[in-house]
Amino acid sequence: MTRPPQPCYAGFMKKISLTGIKPTGLLHIGNYFGAIKPALELAKEYDARYFIADYHALNLIKDPKTLARYTREVAAGWLAAGLNPDELVFYRQSSVPETFELTTMLMAFTSKGLMNRAHAYKAAVQANLEKGEDPDAGINMGLYTYPVLMAADILLFDPDVVPVGRDQVQHVEMAQDIAQVINFNYKQDCLKVPQAVVQESVAVVPGLDGRKMSKSYGNAIPLFAPEQDLHKLIKRIVTNSQALEEPKDPDSSQIFQLYKLFASEEELLALAARFRNGGMGWGEAKEELFRVMNRELTPLRERFNAFIADPVRLDAILAQGAEKARLIARKTIARLRKATGIDR
């Protein structure tokens, strides 16, 4: 019998996940529980690959010192949170030039109409129209072609799954569309078609004002804030006007919702009972939150500060990751160059 054709990327024993991290500001508690911890959990099940998307950040951050600082802080933050660079691939996007070669190749198979439908571009155009400005005012080609660069980030490393927030699913779908066009054109599976994974059970972390924690809302608690700063921020959490002796509902309190992320089951039950029984004021509740939060964050803060204080070590880790990433990336580029006829 004739053996069926095998995909060009066949041979992987373990499924692959890919996570991109954009360095656009300090990491906060919401990032830790909503993105970092779930992404690191993937390393238990998948051959996990993580990259810092510094070229993507360039669309927003034009100051070189700021971009360099954010990139180092994000790298140090993920390492402090438990990312083990010896067991997986961790690299800077800008250190893998194959990403940009693949981007150029993908451009030849990407319709302008697909780019016109990108959420970020459409939102920018709509904002301009609402202000009575030219539809494309202030929109650079980095924003417009952002989905193609992201597709290259993804397709270069043959992932089976790409964990994303719901607002990022469209980018994975675009990567699927582009890969399928190329595979159809050359009548072979040159590029693996990835699947988006939206983790619905990921915690939504409340900020200081009760809304979802976000840098854009100004309500975030930095993940590596010094102990004194952390204490001051927790004191700023907005509460209602209930008196000390009144019973309080733990389920409607952002103090208790934050406490759940850091406390043991025994501590949770004890604090919930104190809330419901009355006799505990918001000030005391905030002190209890600070105690459990600082207990978990202190070792992370210490590891983060150690990485930041040793930039040579940090750069060496990222350089080592780039070497591993390029070994994978070169194989993908070689497949495409052969399939397209650039290399024969």
Q: What is the DSSP string of 107-174?
A: HTT--HHHHHT-HHHHHHHHHHHHTTS-TTTT--HHHHTHHHHHHHHHHTT--SEEE--GGGHHHHHH
The pLDDT of residue 90 is 97
- Tell me what pLDDT residue 122 has: 95
Give the model's pLDDT for residue 134.
96
DSSP output for 36-92? IHHHHHGGGTSEEEEEE-HHHHTTT---HHHHHHHHHHHHHHHHHTT--TTTSEEEE
Cβ atoms 50, 317 nearer than 8 A: no
DSSP at 200: T
Q: What per-residue confidence (pLDDT) applies to 201?
A: 60
3-class DSSP assignment, residue 24: coil
Bridge partners, 91 (sequence order): 51
User: Could you tell me the pTM of the whole model?
Assistant: 0.90
Residue with structure tokens 């983060």?
304
**Among residues 207, 208, 206, 220, which one has the least CA distance to residue 25?**
220
* Residue 318: CB atoms within 10 Å: 22
Contact by Cβ (8 Å): 79, 85: yes
Chunked into runs of 10 residues, the chain (344 residues) has average pLDDT values of: 44 82 91 90 92 94 95 96 95 97 97 95 95 94 95 97 88 97 96 89 83 91 97 95 91 94 96 94 96 97 97 96 97 96 88
pLDDT of residue 199: 73
- Which pLDDT belongs to residue 202? 64
